Chains A and B, each alone.
Chain A
Amino acid sequence: AQSVTQLDSQVPVFEEAPVELRCNYSSSVSVYLFWYVQYPNQGLQLLLKYLSGSTLVKGINGFEAEFNKSQTSFHLRKPSVHISDTAEYFCAVSAVKAAGNKLTFGGGTRVLVKP
C-alpha cells in the first residue's frame, strides 16, 4: 500500500515569487509519481510525472519537480508564479507494474497567488 502526504494545505504567494509545494510518500514497492492541478471549477489536469530516468522532471506551465528516492519526496516548484496559477495541486503515486494501477493522492495544496 502507498500513502502520500502534502505538508502544506494552503500556500499563499505573491505574483512573480517562487513557490515550492512539498510532497512525501511512503511505499513498500517502487512507484510512479504525478502532480495534478485542479483550476477553479475544472477537473484534474496532469502537470508532470516521474516514471524513470532523470530525477528532475519538467512539466507544463513552467513547473518542475524533483524525485528524491532517499527522502521519498517529489516536491513541485515554479520560479515565478502568475495569478493564473491559483489552483489546487495534488501529488499522487501508483505502484510500478503493468499499466492500470490506482492512484493514491495526497490531501492537496491550495495555492493562492496574490497581486
Chain B
Amino acid sequence: EAGVTQFPSHSVIEKGQTVTLRCDPISGHDNLYWYRRVMGKEIKFLLHFVKESKQDESGMPNNRFLAERTGGTYSTLKVQPAELEDSGVYFCASSQLAGDLGTQYFGPGTRLLVL
C-alpha cells in the first residue's frame, strides 16, 4: 500500500510569488491534515479535511493560505503571495475516518524556502 505522498519535495521561490503544494493521502483515508514546521519551532497544525469538507482550519495563519480537497482525494495548499516567514517544512498526514483510533500517517514533507 502506498503511503502519503507530497509534491514537490522542495520549492524555492521569491517573496510575492505563488506556490502550490500537493498531498496525496493513503487510499481510503478520509481524514487529511496539513501541518507546518517553521525553522526552530515545533510542528503546528494548519487544517483538517474530512473528505472534501474543511473540519477545522483554526491553524491557518492568514488568508494568504488556501487549502482545497476537491473530490475528497488529494489536497492542495496554495500560498499567495508568499512571504519570508512562510519558509518551513509543510507536512501532510492522513488517517482513517474510523478504526485505528485516528493514527495519522505522514508524508515526507515539502521544504519551502521563500527568498
Say whether B108 contacts A42, CB under 8 Å.
yes
Q: Tell me if B48 and A102 are in contact (CB < 8 A).
A: yes
Complex Cα–Cα for A110 and B17 (A): 33
Closest to B5 in A: A43
Chain B CB within 8 A of A89 CB: no
User: For this complex, into which size category does the number of interface residues on chain A fall?
Assistant: 20 to 34
* B42:A108 contact, CB within 8 angstroms: yes
Query: A99 in the interface, Cβ–Cβ < 8 Å?
Result: yes
Whether B106 pairs with A44 at a CB distance below 8 angstroms is: yes
B109 at the interface (CB under 8 A from A): yes
List the A side residues contacting B64 at CB < 8 Å: none
Question: What's the minimum C-beta distance from B18 to chain A, rounded to whole angstroms?
Answer: 24
Q: Does A103 contact B (CB under 8 A)?
A: yes
**Complex Cα distance A108/B55, Å?**
27
0/1 string, B72-115, CB within 8 A of A gives 1? 00000000000000000001010111111111111111000000
Q: Mask for B28-53, Cβ within 8 A of A = 1, else 0?
A: 00010101000001111100101000
Instruction: Contacts A32-B101, A99-B97 given; indicate if A105 touches B44 (C-beta within 8 A).
Output: yes
Closest to B59 in A: A102
Residues facing B in A99-115 (CB within 8 A) are 99-108
A32 touches B102 (CB 8 A): yes
Indicate if the CB atoms of B42 and A49 lie closer than 8 Å: no
Contact for A102 among B50, B56, B105, CB less than 8 A? B56
Q: Given the interface contacts A51-B101, A99-B99, A99-B100, does A43 sit within 8 Å of B42 by beta carbon?
A: no
Partner of B33, one of A46, A102, A108: A102
> CB-CB < 8 A to B97: which residues of A?
99-100
Q: A94 interface residue, CB < 8 Å from B?
A: yes
> Is the CB–CB distance between A43 and B101 below 8 Å?
no
Instruction: Name A4's closest neighbour in chain B (CB-CB).
Output: B42
Which listed residue (B42, B91, B102, B109) contacts A94, Cβ 8 A?
Answer: B102
The 28 sampled A-B contact pairs (Cβ below 8 Å) are A4-B42, A34-B103, A43-B4, A43-B91, A43-B107, A44-B93, A46-B103, A92-B43, A98-B98, A99-B99, A99-B100, A99-B101, A100-B48, A100-B50, A100-B55, A100-B95, A100-B102, A102-B33, A102-B48, A102-B56, A103-B33, A103-B43, A103-B93, A103-B104, A105-B44, A106-B42, A107-B41, A107-B42
